[in-house]
Amino acid sequence: MAKNKFWKTEYSITLLVLFAVIMLFMPMSIQNKTQALYISRWNERYNRLDYMFSVINTHISDDIIKSYKEAKTSAQKEKFLLALIKPYLRIDTEKNPPKRYKPRYMNNAKVYKGQTYYFDEFYFAEKNSIIGIKDVKKVHPNDPIFLLMFDINGLLPPNRWGKDIFGVNIYDDGKIDAFGSDLPMEKLKQDCSLEGTGLSCSYYYKIGGGFDE
């Protein structure tokens, strides 16, 4: 009888330990699966963007190029790009995301107005995603002329760069590349971590980088 009681106690303790282990690792497992889904969606979106701009470049006319050159302010240039990509990405210009929508860096730091990756305007697009468009001043020949931001998850959290937010540079020849494409692997891994901004995850994940670093 005492032996059976001891066995039952030991069995109960074993079950409790197993339950504790499962509960310990379950949140991490869910987070990893969710992040893997975001990365998959981002890679899919990037491939579509690359194809989209190749199509635009093929069919772009002298009138469209002239319209861009006639745009003087950043707002006018952003509206030009918005009109160009709107039908491809099903962008809704009638309703904007609420003002409470404020993306942060992966390390949870705020993105302040005036910083390179601060976007003034956001738009809803296909599959409830959010897009940001920003004209940037070209200083060097290889600098981009626009930045595009994509929140794969839309208004839903986490709204963090490198988590559910990614971005691309657009150049004056119509080519694109993901944020971080100019960085060496060591810098990519450093930035695409909980201590970094997460901006470079856009390129790091594209080349097969892991999401658990």
State pLDDT tens for residues 148-191. Answer: 999 999 999 999 999 999 999 999 888 999 999 999 999 999 99
**Predicted local confidence at residue 19, as pLDDT:** 42
Residue 96 identity (one-letter amino acid): N
DSSP at 211:
S
In angstroms, the CA 79 to CA 33 distance is 37
Task: Please report the pLDDT score of residue 155 as a whole number.
Answer: 96
Q: What is the pLDDT of residue 138?
A: 87
Q: Which residue type, as a one-letter code, is found at position 84?
A: L
Q: Are 178 and 166 in contact (CB under 8 A)?
A: yes
3-state secondary structure of 149: strand
Distance CA 136, CA 78 (A): 10
Distance, CA of 127 to chain centre: 14
Regions of the chain where pLDDT drops below 70? 1-31, 211-213
pLDDT for 32 equals 80
179 with 170: CB under 8 angstroms? no
Cα R_g (the chain), whole angstroms: 23
Contact (Cβ atoms closer than 8 angstroms) between residue 209 and residue 194: no
Tell if the pTM clears 0.75, that is, is over it.
yes
pLDDT at 29: 59
Q: What is the pLDDT of residue 30?
A: 58
Tokens standing for residue 150:
């994509």
